[in-house]
């Protein structure tokens, strides 16, 4: 009887399973039908609104204009970096990525709904005019930027080389808006350059991530490899660029482990980028400089090196752009720029809207030094050893003159004008000493 009960129970269980499977299948089918109905209703609603606006709007607007406005509005409302590219916008984007253009030389983004300077590019008109990371652009000439898209703003700021433009900005710490007059120039970027500090320290500045960043950094290191005991990597005001170059740069400093991962809505968009075997600078003390103008690719580099315990980060919190955009053509002349994924650092933390925090926070500014006019030293005594002092002074003077005429050397005077860099040098010296380099 027990067996019969068991068998009966088995049939009941099987019946329930079949019933559940059928119900599940019917539920999925019903859900699919509901979704399809909902989609058709939404499309019908959209078509109805287009028809009403086209028929009754106070100004005559044709269907093409309405569709462009509708697509533009839809893309704008997805996130700050997605947008619809009209024929004119798409052409402008191709020019920007393929050739020279006249402009100001700044990277801008939307932060809390305001058009914000992410970073001025080194040596460009915007940099020379004094625009800074974090400046909020209120007006471009006489046009307000409220409600303006990034592409619309870029379009207004770009123009003929030599043409003037006025930009009204709001800056933290300033009570009134500031009017900045800029003359447009040809934007050419020197992405990587290096200098030496006190003979044994290599300073490498990466202004943006173009196609040759990792190769150029490696070349700069190879030139000074024998004398280099420590490296300072300056990523301040670096607005980002190519992901593969960010990965390749980190790969120069680490020998293994993940560098960055991206996760999207679909599994096909998920990728993990790991270190390979191209590492050349894995055992040299490293300090990285960052600030609020360090964005995207530069945040990946600094964050990955921090997570890997490979570098000390000095400066200020970075911008916080941790999303992936792709340009998808919809016709031969039009496209959309769409956010498809987010970046994650090796530890799993996100960059988006959070940024990378420095290990040692240092605000920008100059090093304040006080000279004690009343201090008495050996050289001030009446009968000091003048002959030996002349030899030393003569040697020092010659060395100072040589350094002052060498543009590849950062002097103490230059360091004192940049407290963030001075702090990085001091920290690096400590690392060199403790690691016995």
- Per residue in 252-301, pLDDT tens? 999 999 999 999 988 888 999 999 866 778 899 999 999 999 999 999 99
Token code pair at residue 431: 């690392």
> Which tokens in the block code for residue 253?
């400093």
> Is 226 part of the annotated catalytic residue set?
no
Residue 327 dihedral angles phi and psi, to the nearest 5°: -100, 120
Dihedral over Cα of 77, 81, 86, 89: its sign:
positive
Active site residue 4: no
Helix and strand tally (H, E) in the chain?
11, 19
Owner of token pair 């995207």: 296
Three-state DSSP class for residue 394: helix
Among 296, 298, 302, 323, the active-site one is 296
| Catalytic choice (234, 307, 337, 423) | 307
Residue whose tokens read 């599940």: 24
Cα 88 from Cα 99, distance rounded (Å): 16
* Predicted model pTM: 0.74
82 is catalytic: no
Give every residue of the chain whose pLDDT is below 70, as ranges.
1-28, 30, 95-101, 277-278, 370-407, 437
How far does CA 60 lie from the centroid of its chain? 43
In this prediction, residue 81 carries a pLDDT of: 87
Q: What is the pLDDT of residue 210?
A: 84
What pLDDT sits at residue 372? Answer: 62
Contacts of 344 (CB under 8 A, 6+ apart): 260, 261, 262, 263, 322, 350, 351
Q: What does the pLDDT read at residue 308?
A: 96
Q: Among 138, 242, 193, 263, which Cα is nearest to 410's?
A: 193
CA–CA dist 355, 296 (Å, integer): 9
pLDDT for the residue numbered 5:
46
DSSP state of 380: G
Helix (H) or strand (E) holding 260: strand 258-264
Of 270, 236, 235, nearest to 250 by C-alpha is 235
321, 337, 422, 429: which is the annotated catalytic residue?
A: 321
Residue 252, pLDDT score: 95
């Amino acid at each position: 009887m027990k067996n019969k009960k068991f068998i009966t129970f088995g049939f009941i269980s099987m019946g329930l399973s079949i019933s559940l499977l059928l119900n599940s299948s019917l539920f999925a089918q019903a859900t699919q039908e509901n979704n399809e109905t909902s989609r058709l209703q939404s499309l019908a609603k959209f078509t109805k609104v287009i028809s009403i606006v086209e028929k009754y709007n106070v100004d005559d607007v044709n269907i093409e204009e309405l569709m462009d406005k509708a697509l533009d509005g839809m893309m704008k409302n997805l996130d700050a970096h997605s947008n619809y590219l009209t024929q004119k916008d798409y052409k402008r984007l191709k020019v920007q990525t393929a050739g020279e253009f006249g402009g100001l030389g700044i990277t801008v983004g939307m932060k809390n709904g305001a058009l914000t300077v992410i970073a001025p590019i080194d040596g460009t008109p915007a940099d020379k005019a004094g625009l800074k990371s974090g400046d909020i652009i209120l007006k471009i000439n006489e046009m307000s930027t409220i409600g303006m898209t990034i592409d619309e703003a870029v379009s207004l700021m770009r123009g003929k080389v030599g043409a003037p433009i006025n930009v009204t900005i709001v800056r933290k710490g300033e009570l009134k808006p500031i009017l900045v007059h800029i003359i447009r120039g040809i934007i050419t970027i020197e992405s990587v350059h290096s200098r030496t500090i006190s003979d044994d320290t290599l300073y490498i500045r990466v202004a943006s991530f173009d196609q040759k960043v990792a190769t150029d950094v490696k070349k700069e290191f190879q030139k000074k490899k024998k004398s280099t005991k420590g490296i300072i990597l300056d990523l301040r005001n670096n607005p980002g660029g190519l992901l593969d170059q960010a990965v390749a740069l980190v790969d120069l400093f680490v020998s293994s482990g993940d560098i960055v991962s991206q996760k999207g809505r679909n599994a096909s968009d998920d990728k993990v980028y790991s270190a390979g075997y191209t590492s050349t600078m894995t055992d040299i003390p490293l300090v990285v400089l960052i600030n609020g103008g360090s964005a995207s690719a530069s945040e990946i580099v600094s964050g990955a090196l921090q997570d890997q315990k490979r570098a000390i980060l000095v400066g200020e919190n970075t911008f916080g752009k941790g999303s992936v955009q792709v340009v998808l053509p919809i016709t031969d002349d039009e496209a959309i720029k769409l956010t498809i994924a987010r970046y994650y650092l090796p530890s799993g933390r996100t960059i988006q809207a959070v940024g990378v925090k420095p290990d040692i926070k240092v605000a920008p500014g100059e090093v304040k030094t006080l000279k004690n006019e009343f201090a008495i030293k050996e050289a001030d005594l009446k009968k000091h050893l003048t002959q030996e002092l002349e030899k030393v002074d003569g040697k020092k003077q010659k060395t100072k003159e040589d350094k002052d005429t060498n543009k590849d050397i950062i002097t103490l005077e230059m360091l004192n004008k940049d407290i963030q860099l001075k702090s990085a040098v001091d920290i690096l010296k400590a690392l060199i000493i403790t690691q016995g380099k």
